[in-house]
Chain A
């Protein structure tokens, strides 16, 4: 089960198992749906919006740190979006990417697997690695947050 602390419109937004969504998060889907995978962590103050008619898919094991802003992009698995990064509309992001603090991605970009983006606009590619350690760490974090959130 997932831990959702802010108010989300549950008709248009579907959240997988084990997710942790913190306070102050705005997930806005006007026409198309937003589908979020398993074990994603969305921290405080994030802003996710879908303006298109098509659905927007966010994969599993992603981490959205404080203050991120994502619009109209399809996202794969095991990505990390650090604090206050801005991803503008119509991009596609594949798996295992990492976006540094305060980075900005202009519209209509395609980012392949294993890419790293640093402030202000440097983009590197890293040799492929096994992402099973990342998945273990994130599922442990989700379990710890869920345990704290459901205590009351």
Chain B
């Protein structure tokens, strides 16, 4: 059950609040990115914080080659209250989320204790509820709302099943153990 993963200390930055970022990832606009703590970002992750605010919870694990990018919409702002203008929406990722490799995420909100599979395409302005699972190789068209406690999958993604009530506890334990076992080589 407990498999210790050892990483090379020269390949990862570690900050004081426990965030471990690979040196091969591309992160832009760090002034607007707000991470609570204890997150792991693997190789080739692209995270664009210069377009809009990005706020990330704790115990997030982002695997290889994931792109996280805020999406945009047409709306009114303070500077132009009468004419519709392009606005970039902030990206909110809650606690205890796991994102598997090669996914593309342009959602606006991801709820707590969710897990997103490999090669997923989550399009603009999606909202993903808490305790949900998105299966591998699924495509979510723009503006979908995934309700809480649901399993979505397919191309295009549809509702498949309901998750049991224990997914929150299982996901929390899994990610806390993953972070504890991610240890530098001595």
Residues of A within 8 A of B46 (CB): 23-24, 44-45
> On chain A, which size bracket covers the interface?
20 to 34
Contact residues in A for B152 (Cβ distance below 8 Å): none
Q: Are A102's CB and B67's CB within 8 A?
A: no
Interface membership of A48, Cβ < 8 A: no
Complex Cα distance A145/B70, Å?
A: 12
B interface footprint on A95-107 (CB within 8 Å = 1, 0 otherwise): 0000001100000
A44 and B86 in contact (CB under 8 A), knowing A24-B26, A83-B121, A84-B104?
Answer: no
Instruction: Report the minimum CB–CB distance from B77 to chain A (whole Å).
Output: 11
Instruction: Kindly state the separation between the CA atoms of A5 and B51 in the bound complex, as whole angstroms.
Output: 13
Q: How many residues of B contact A (CB 8 A)?
A: 16
User: DSSP class of A's interface residues: helix, strand, loop or mixed?
Assistant: loop
Q: Are A66 and B50 in contact, with the CB atoms below 8 A?
A: no
B39 partner residues in chain A, CB cutoff 8 A: none
When C-beta atoms are compared, the residue in chain A nearest to B26 turns out to be A23
Asked if B174 is at the interface (CB within 8 A of a chain A CB), the reply is: no
Give the residues from 15 to 54 in chain A that come closer than 8 angstroms, CB to CB, to chain B.
22-24, 43-45
Measured CA separation A84–B121 after assembly (Å): 9
Nearest residue in B to A119 (C-beta to C-beta)?
A: B155
Tell whether B69 is near chain A: CB-to-CB under 8 Å: yes
B-to-A contact residues, CB < 8 Å: 26, 28, 46, 48, 50-51, 67, 69, 72, 85-86, 88, 104, 121, 139, 155
